[in-house]
Amino acid sequence: MDFSKDEPNELKQVQSERGFLEKVRNLTQVLGREVIEKTLWLYFAAQNPNIPPGAKAVIYSALAYVLAPLDAIPDLVPAIGYTDDLGVLALAAATVIMHIDENVKEKTRETLKGWFDAWDEMLGFLENNEMQETQGKY
């Protein structure tokens, strides 16, 4: 689609939003559900006020590593960039497994479902708007 100066900024915004959401969804697929699932397990387990300080330290250290811009294997390396992140998450999850109860797993399932449902809904909405804008031009 050609973005001439006559086209409204809203169309540009829709294009960039849709592109961003598609990239996030693709990134999620590249990262794999397992990485995101383990990250959320740790996050929700850490929210429990009864979790011991040592377990929280393990969790927050693992989450900090995953979020850090620099790590052992740069995330931009194709195919293997997130393997170190997954390893750190899996080790942390194994260390605090007794705190990853069914409540934590259910919150994780609900969160993942909400994210993917929202992405699909947003992409559909943006695609419909784009088609209407395109049809309105002809």
Please list, in sequence order, all residues whose beta carbon lies within 8 angstroms of the beta carbon of residue 3, skipping any fewer than 6 positions away: 11, 12, 15
pTM recorded for the entire structure: 0.61
99 Cβ contact list (under 8 Å, min separation 6): 45, 48, 51, 55
> What single DSSP character describes residue 99?
G
Encode pLDDT of 46-92 as tens digits. Answer: 999 999 999 999 999 998 888 887 777 776 776 677 788 888 989 99
Separation between Cα atoms, residue 66 and residue 81, nearest integer Å: 11
6-45: pLDDT as tens digits: 445 544 554 566 666 566 566 666 666 777 888 889 999 9
